[in-house]
């Protein structure tokens, strides 16, 4: 386990605000909590940039996180604001699961508290607690699938 018992209890409570742990039993939740860490960020802190290596995913526990994507226009460094994420929302799962570079930039819009699950911790969980790791990874896949369906629906509405 990566975290102390007191921290595990705190992280367990924080995880309850997310759909990512819906399929875990209380014992599995406590076990999974040991692989997460808490990160506090000040307003305007960059969490990661588009193109960075995907070494961790996050769960918003407090505050607001903005997601933006570069428009890649030659003369314009503008970015497209994609979403604002609040308590209970996860982000960064794609890069952690597929090993690709970050597809967007994430920034703390307000002071934030995040739970962080690193690729290294996921790999360790797969070895030490494979059933719990499988349930978490499946939950991530379901969340990503739902987001893809919503995005596809929005694109269809705009005839793109």
Could you give the dihedral angle defined by the CA atoms of residues 91, 144, 104 and 152, in that order, rounded to the nearest 10 degrees? -140
pLDDT digits (tens, 9 = 90+) for 68-123: 998 764 545 678 898 999 999 999 998 888 888 999 999 999 999 999 999 999 99
Q: What is the pTM of this model?
A: 0.86
| CA 28 – CA 26 distance, rounded (Å) | 5
Q: Is 100 exposed, middle or buried (0-12, 13-18, 19+ CB in 10 A)?
A: exposed
Helix (H) / strand (E) containing 150: helix 130-157
pLDDT digits (tens, 9 = 90+) for 2-60: 456 678 999 999 999 888 998 999 999 999 999 999 999 999 999 999 999 999 999 99
Name the fold adopted by 5-157.
Answer: Jelly Rolls (2.60.120)
């Amino acid at each position: 386990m990566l975290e102390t018992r007191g921290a595990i209890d705190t992280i367990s409570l924080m995880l309850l605000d997310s759909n990512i742990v819906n399929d875990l039993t209380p014992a599995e939740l406590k076990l999974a909590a040991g692989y997460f860490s808490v990160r506090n960020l000040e307003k305007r802190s960059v969490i990661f940039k588009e193109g960075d290596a995907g070494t961790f995913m996050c769960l918003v526990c407090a505050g607001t996180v903005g997601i933006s994507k570069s428009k890649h226009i030659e003369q314009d460094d503008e970015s497209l604001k994609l979403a604002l994420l609040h308590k209970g929302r996860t982000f960064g799962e794609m890069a952690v699961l597929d090993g690709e570079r970050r597809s967007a930039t994430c920034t703390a819009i307000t002071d934030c508290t995040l739970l962080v699950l690193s690729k290294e911790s996921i790999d360790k969980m797969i070895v030490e607690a494979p059933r719990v790791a499988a349930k978490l990874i499946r939950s991530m896949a379901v969340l990503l699938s739902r987001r893809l369906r919503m995005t596809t629906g929005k694109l269809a509405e705009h005839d793109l």
